[in-house]
Amino acid sequence: MQQPIGIGLAGLGNVGAGVYKHLLANRNLLRERLGLDLEVRRIAVRDTARRAAEGFPAEILTPHWRDLVEDPSVQIVVEVMGRKEESLALILESIARKKVVVTANKALLAEHGREIFEAATQYGVPVFYEAAVGGGIPIIKALREALIGNHIVSIHGIINGTSNYILTRMQEAGLGFPEALAEAQSKGYAEPDPSFDVNGWDAAHKAVILASLAYGFWVPTDKIFVEGIEALTSADFRFARQLGYGIKLLGIIKAKSAEFGSEIEVRVHPTLVPEKHVLASVNGVFNAVAVHGNVVGETLFYGRGAGQDPTSSAILCDIAEAAEALVNPRRNLGFMPHGLYGSCKPLDEILCEYYLRLCVQDRPGVIAQIAGILADLHIGISSIFQPESEDEGSTVPLVMMIHTASHAQIGAALERISALDCVRKPTQMIRVEHFS
């Protein structure tokens, strides 16, 4: 048995504490399976006195993350601080000193992945990031290794547990968005400031990582479309169910072909999902990622996407791989760029089907006016229904399912429809996915 491999842990919040706890509890198991011993030698945390009082060994605590980088006994640096500037500096310095890096920082990878892996290539140091997407679901390893012989046709992911819990409660209990959010916060599923969960950007950062890994280039965050769940109402769920759909916040990643320089789609938004599709039944705080490879066909990865234990499990996997990489250096440093794909498809050119919910005056000719605008823009209607109103002249919902159209087409249509005097409120528009 070789000398223990030294680990430096940067951050001791919920995830960091879980990693430390499980490394201690499973040290013998990891030793038997790896043939390597792993030992935490340094922990960087701001309040060392408080952490020492909680039982963490005072002799390995430090308030400075640079102590991890400068400690020659630390060979693997685990970054779970969850910050940007400090975390980026820590990772880049660790790489420059030939220390293998493990991180769960999805926002950092999405925004600085190119820079991080250019440094990794320059110094020949691998970076592992399984916990950045899907918590305990091994989706990064699957894309990087298990599906390496596949062109990835598409990825559809429910990759934010907070938003999925909120949408589940809106669908099952008929709650409005504010009530469902308050319930999620009371149960600890949503942060006091839930912005990144409900506005779609937490899922978007994860989608950028998946897309970049699948298609071989780092996708710019300003080239993707992101829309949150804040505008959804209980009425949308009621009407969607009548039409045979559920509503999920989906990360959608697609490639038209495997030709050199071909475009890909990367978008995150509320989506009508057919009730018979497996993703429609993924409820609560669970995550799921459906990957379609051109060789393997459809695959599904399902599990808890957040929380101390699932995230710690993914980080332990990365630490084990990092230890093996120290003993047996590898060519794949965590991201392999290639030139089969070149750019993101412009939003206006992306094709979808759509659900529209309008609030209109209940009088003759309204449907004809709206249908006329759609026809002028070469947009087809696949179905339409309008609940009966008690009094002629009152406002009523008008629900339309729209055939495939571009974002530019539907945007132009909604602009003209909103100018009609019979339309009393902004139109709700939700994209529809059939997974074909």
CATH number of the domain that residue 416 is part of: 3.30.70.260
My answer on whether 317 and 359 are in the same domain is no
Identify whether residues 266 and 363 lie together within a single domain. Answer: no
- Same domain as 155, residue 12: no
Q: Is 206 one of the catalytic residues?
A: yes
Residue 112 located in a structural domain = yes
Same domain, 44 and 104: yes
Residues 129 and 163 in one domain: no
Domain that holds residue 301: 139-305
pLDDT of residue 267: 97
Residue 93 and residue 26 share a domain:
yes
In-domain check, residue 332: no
Catalytic pick among 206, 248, 254, 345: 206
pLDDT in tens, 371-411: 999 999 999 999 998 876 655 558 899 999 999 999 999 99
Last residue of one domain, picked from the residues 305, 339, 363:
305
336 inside domain? no
Claim to verify: residue 195 and residue 270 sit in the same structural domain: yes
One digit per residue, the tens of pLDDT, for the chain of length 436 reads 578 999 999 999 999 999 999 999 999 999 999 999 999 999 999 999 999 999 999 999 999 999 999 999 999 999 999 888 999 999 999 999 999 999 999 999 999 999 999 999 999 999 999 999 998 899 999 999 999 999 999 999 999 999 999 999 999 999 999 999 999 999 989 888 999 999 999 999 999 999 999 999 999 999 999 999 999 999 999 999 999 999 999 999 999 776 667 899 999 999 999 999 999 999 999 999 999 999 999 999 999 888 899 999 999 999 999 999 999 988 889 998 888 887 899 999 999 999 999 999 988 899 999 999 999 999 999 999 887 665 555 889 999 999 999 999 999 999 999 999 999 999 999 999 998 7
Q: What is the DSSP string of 267-299?
A: EEEEEEEETTSGGGG--TTEEEEEEEETTTEEE
* 340 domain-assigned: no
Answer whether residue 90 is part of any domain: yes
pLDDT at 389: 60
Query: What CATH code is carried by the domain that includes residue 315?
Result: 3.40.50.720
- Which pLDDT score is estimated for 392? 54
Domain contains 193:
yes
**Do 269 and 387 belong together in one domain?**
no
Domain count, the chain: 3
Residue 287 shares a structural domain with residue 411: no
Would you say residue 241 lies in a domain? yes
Do 296 and 319 belong together in one domain? Answer: no
d(CA 82, CA 165): 23
Among 305, 340, 374, identify where a domain stops.
305
pLDDT of residue 355: 98
3-state secondary structure of 230: coil
CA angle 16–21–26, rounded 5-degree value: 125
H or E stretch at 154: strand 152-158
So what's the pLDDT on residue 391?
Answer: 54
> What is the pLDDT, as a whole number, of residue 394?
82
Cβ atoms of residues 93 and 66 within 8 Å: yes
CA-based end-to-end distance of the chain: 52
Helix (H) or strand (E) holding 46: none
User: Which CATH number goes with the domain that contains 245?
Assistant: 3.30.360.10
337 within a domain of the structure (yes/no): no
Q: Which of 327, 357, 379 is the last residue of a domain?
A: 327
* Cα–Cα dist 313/225, whole Å: 31
173 and 287 in one domain?
Answer: yes
Q: What is the pLDDT of residue 257?
A: 75
Strand (E) positions, 186-235?
A: 225-226
236 and 120 in a common domain: no
Query: Tens of pLDDT along 350-362?
Result: 999 999 999 999 8
Q: Which helix (H) or strand (E) holds 44?
A: strand 38-44
